[in-house]
Amino acid sequence: MSPGRTLATLLNLAVVAFFAWAVQHYWGWARLLAPWQQMPLATLLLALCGMLGSYAIRALRIYIAEAEIPRGAYWQCLRLILLNNSLNLLLPARSGEASFPILLKRWFGIDLARGTGTLLWLRLLDLHVLASVGAACAAAGWQLQAHGVSRLIWLVAALAAAAPLLLFALHGRLSRALAGRGGKLVTLAQRGLSGIPAHAGGVLRDLLLTWSSWAVKLSALGWVLSQLAQLPPLVGVLGAIGGDLSTVLPVHAPGGFGTYEAGVIAVLAPATAPSGALLAAAVNLHLLLLTTALLAGAAAWLTGLGRRSPTPQPRC
């Protein structure tokens, strides 16, 4: 094992150990996990189905959007999503994202530049959904008292929501500007841009699948958070958005320990006062999300999901 990997592993273990100690010191694990004893089994199953359904839709989004992925390889796409998601949770600062273009190249022969462009496009769509839903929930639930802060938040949300459409509008101009020019960097940029749909139909398709994926996931997690923290369902959805924003942006710790909970509480601060109960609910939600994602990733790796799929055939 290289020194860099050893250091990253030790950092992950240190963060997990500190998190476990902090939970035991301030609450105690028995007290923290007590709300699950009153949680209806149907609610827990709803959350699990929501997360797994979200992963399945994300895999479908890649399978449909990438013309270079052959027919019959959907289960390999699902395996890629599950492994990429697990690595993102385990490695710091979104470094696990590198697995996405690497696996696309290894399994489907898609070059790294195009795979990276596809990844950036998909993450931009994720940010679009979170910003749009967050802004809508805030508008429906409350208004921030500080007018200047409110304007800034609405401006950031509007820019994030419009970013995919703006990038698509500039896609043609950027491609034409690079056409006919030589050099490795130009070639890499052209391949990266090829990961963005060239037609409005492709953009609408990706938006529909992205919205569907997040609708399933946020509805389930928001409902669970509302049950754990005794919050209205709409506020619970907003809290789930705050936690996921901490993972979409490159600011989270290994496993998201601490930063996920901070994202939940920060977004909910205008609606409800931070408290020990709210923090405990955020920790429990995070543990549910983390456990489900890691177990799904481990199952995909150990079972070789998609490895024995029927011989794929090229698309027409």
Is there a domain that residue 22 lies in?
A: no
> Which carries the bigger pLDDT value, residue 305 or residue 77?
77
- What is the distance between the alpha carbons of residues 273 and 241, in angstroms, rounded to a whole number? 18
Is there a domain that residue 9 lies in?
A: no
How many domains are contained in the chain? Answer: 1
Residue 290: CB partners within 8 Å, gap ≥ 6?
Answer: 89, 255, 256
pLDDT at 12 over 80: no
- The length of the chain is 316
Is there a domain that residue 288 lies in?
A: yes
Joined together, the tokens standing for residue 67 give 């013309």
Is there a domain that residue 198 lies in?
A: yes
Is there a domain that residue 274 lies in?
A: yes
Find the domain containing 194 and state its range. 39-303
Distance of CA 253 to the CA centre of its chain: 14
User: ∠ CA(10), CA(11), CA(15), 5° rounding?
Assistant: 115
Is there a domain that residue 10 lies in?
A: no
- In the chain, % of residues over pLDDT 90: 14
Specify whether the CB–CB gap between 37 and 275 falls below 8 A.
no
User: ∠ CA(190), CA(193), CA(197), 5° rounding?
Assistant: 135
pTM of the model: 0.78
Specify whether the CB–CB gap between 219 and 233 falls below 8 A.
no
Is there a domain that residue 282 lies in?
A: yes
Band the pLDDT of 310: cuts 50, 70, 90.
very low
Name the range with the highest mean pLDDT among 23-32, 158-167, 189-198, 242-251: 158-167
Instruction: Name the CA dihedral angle for 173, 175, 178, 181, rounded to a multiple of 10 degrees.
Output: -130
Is there a domain that residue 254 lies in?
A: yes
Among residues 208, 213, 215, 234, the alpha carbon closest in space to that of 223 is found at 234
Alpha-carbon dihedral sign for residues 58, 60, 65, 67: positive
